[in-house]
């Protein structure tokens, strides 16, 4: 496969050369993408792959994180370009991990609110729901 020079040339200098992981990648629009990225680092041990600030110096056009081996992307809203901020609805982000209680405890300590307490479910996993300060619902599950 040939290299695309235009893609390489437009890549920000602070962006490591790491491909997107996973088949379906959630792309979140939040009220403070830089704050959310820092929160996800504390709550979910996110690693930051790339960050592209907007020209206004306040917002992020793009931020690529990895959480538990999968990619998550986020940005601020840009209503002037038709990309408005809307309340999250009808989806959850799930993290399946070998140590769900440790992930749960870290996320709660970072500031996630419990919306369904972690418990052993009928399918055998420990599982619960959390809401982050940006309105995103996260579920954590793993062996009981």
How do residues 125-134 score in pLDDT, each as one tens digit? 999 999 999 9
Structural domains of the chain in order of their starting residue, each with its CATH number: 23-143 (3.10.180.10)
Q: Strand, helix or coil at 56?
A: coil
Residue 95 confidence class, pLDDT cut points 50, 70, 90: very high
Closest CA to 29 of 87, 82, 115, 69: 87
CB 138 within 8 A of CB 94: yes
5 has pLDDT over 70: no
9 has pLDDT over 90: no
Per-residue confidence (pLDDT) for residue 33, from 0 to 100? 98
Count CB atoms within 10 A of the CB of residue 140: 27
Tens of pLDDT, residue by residue over 29-55, are 999 999 999 999 999 999 999 999 999
Mean pLDDT of 51-60: 96
d(CA 114, CA 6): 45
């Amino acid at each position: 496969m040939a290299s695309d020079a235009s893609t390489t040339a437009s890549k920000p200098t602070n962006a490591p050369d790491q491909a997107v992981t996973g088949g379906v990648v959630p792309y979140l629009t939040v009220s403070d993408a830089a704050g959310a990225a820092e929160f996800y680092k504390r709550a979910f041990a996110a690693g930051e792959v790339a960050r592209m600030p907007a020209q206004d110096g306040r917002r992020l056009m793009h931020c690529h994180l990895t959480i538990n081996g999968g990619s998550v992307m986020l940005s601020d809203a840009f209503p002037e370009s038709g990309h408005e901020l809307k309340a999250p609805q009808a989806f959850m982000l799930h993290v399946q991990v070998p140590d769900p209680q440790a992930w749960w405890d870290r996320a709660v300590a970072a500031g996630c609110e419990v919306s369904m307490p972690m418990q052993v479910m009928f399918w055998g996993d420990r599982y619960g729901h959390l809401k982050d300060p940006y309105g995103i619902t996260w579920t954590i599950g793993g062996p009981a």
